[in-house]
Amino acid sequence: MNNSGWKAARERAAERYPEELGRPCPQGFRRIRVHDLKHTFGYRLRAAGVSFEDRKTLLGHKASHVTTHYSAADIETLILLAEKVCELASRKSPALSIVRAGGASQVPEIIGGKGGTRTLDPGIMSAEPKNRALTA
């Protein structure tokens, strides 16, 4: 949808922009495409917490992968969610633990191409370090 009618509408909107919003029209405003608006709409739907199924319907998609493309995750949100793992309050259990019948917790050990398991020292997985000198 980049025909002469759409181009004329963008030009008219750019001319009205300063009087409607009280500031100069941004340079990119004259080049905006319907496709750009669709991406913005999908992104804002996701940011507003609209469910995937509803975003798919509102964006008019049949295939789920297209909806995913048009409503990609916000990088700032992804970073905040990933950082939650680093918060001490979230460490209610070890990050990786294999529980054996004997009651010992073990983790996989892959060093130098050799695989095996080793028993965990429960103190290394706690939120508070045993020896504060080692953490300084």
Q: Give the pLDDT score at 24.
A: 93
% of the chain exceeding 70 in pLDDT: 62
Out of 21-35, 70-84, 91-105, pick the least confident.
91-105
Q: Give the pLDDT score at 32.
A: 84
The owner of tokens 């529980």 is 99
- Per-residue confidence band for 130, with pLDDT thresholds at 50, 70 and 90: very low
- pLDDT tens for 84-125 read 877 766 566 555 555 555 555 555 555 444 555 555 455 444
Could you give the CA distance from residue 5 to residue 111 in angstroms, rounded to a whole number?
65
Tell me: pLDDT of 35 over 50: yes
b/e sequence 66-103, b meaning 16+ C-beta within 10 Å: ebbebbeeeeeeeeeeeeeeeeeeeeeeeeeeeeeeee
Q: Give the pLDDT score at 19.
A: 93
Average pLDDT over residues 75-87: 81
Could you give the CA distance from residue 67 to residue 64 in angstroms, rounded to a whole number?
5
